[in-house]
Amino acid sequence: MERNLTELTDEELILEFQSNGTEKAFEILVQRFKNPLTNYVYRFLGDYDSCVDVVQEAFVKVYRYKDNYSSLAKFSTWIYTIAGNLARTEYQRKKRRNFFSISSFGEEEKTYDIPDNSYRPDVEADMNMKSEIIQKALLKVRDSYREAVILRDVQEMSYEEIAEIMQIEVGTVKSRINRGRAELKKYLKDIYYE
């Protein structure tokens, strides 16, 4: 039985979980999507703790609202949409909190980069200086552009999938990706134009 479930596609697993309430199918989906989703949300938020919370919240929503899934769509686009919406909400919440806690003290228009002090040995071990700079540059890019760039260049999704996840046209996805890359290059000029 277990062997059969692991061989099933994402869509078949969620249908099995929908129709029969098989929790093993849900667990297999969690195993398949926990790391890509964590990577995606971490690149978007830049904070590991809140990233894990967001991914877990996304899986809780899948568990609770499994009946809302339509078999016409891909499961990956559905769960990425849920995680993306939650990540955007969390980012806005963090932004407001940082605005009221720091910007009110100093100059009016200047914003501060909040250093990520969370020490993660498994992440820090693989991170070199360059990747750290790229991550900081990514966080400076506008939200909508950043999401499109991460999904395309980090997660390596197709334009059609990104369009479905972000619920926009493919042309809009392409333009957002280009603008996001241009912004990113501007912030990383010290690395690429030396």
Partner 1 sequence: MNNEEETNKKLLDDLKNLPKVNAPKNFETELWRKINSSEKEIKESIWDKIFSPGKIAPAAVAVVSAVIIFFVVDVNSEEMEDPLNIEPRLREDLIVYEMNDDISVQNEIKTEIKKKDDESIIKSTTRESNQNKISSEIKSEEIKDESRKELDKKITDDELSAAELKLDTNVSTETRSLGGTVSPAIITTNSSEINKSNLNFMQRNLTVEEKVEVQQLKMKVETQKSAKTDENRTNPTQK
Q: Residues interacting with partner 1, by CB under 8 A?
A: 27, 30-31, 34-35, 37-39, 42-43, 48, 51-52, 55-57, 59-60, 63-64, 122-123, 126-127, 130-131, 134-135, 149, 153-154, 156, 181, 184-185, 188, 192-193
Q: How far apart are CA 80 and CA 166, in angstroms?
A: 9
Q: Which CB sits closer to partner 1, 74 or 181?
A: 181
CB of 173 to partner 1, least distance (A): 16
Q: Which CB sits closer to partner 1, 143 or 153?
A: 153
Look at the block and give the residue holding tokens 């400076």. Answer: 140
CB of 134 to partner 1, least distance (A): 6
The H-or-E segment that residue 137 falls in is helix 129-140
Q: Which CB sits closer to partner 1, 98 or 135?
A: 135
Q: Which CB sits closer to partner 1, 96 or 185?
A: 185
CB of 12 to partner 1, least distance (A): 21
CB of 102 to partner 1, least distance (A): 26
Structure tokens at 154: 């980090």
Angle at the Cα of 67 from the Cα atoms of 63 and 72, rounded to 5 degrees: 115
Burial of 28 (0-12, 13-18, 19+ CB in 10 A): buried
Look at the block and give the residue holding tokens 């061989």. Answer: 7
- Residue 67 carries which DSSP code? G
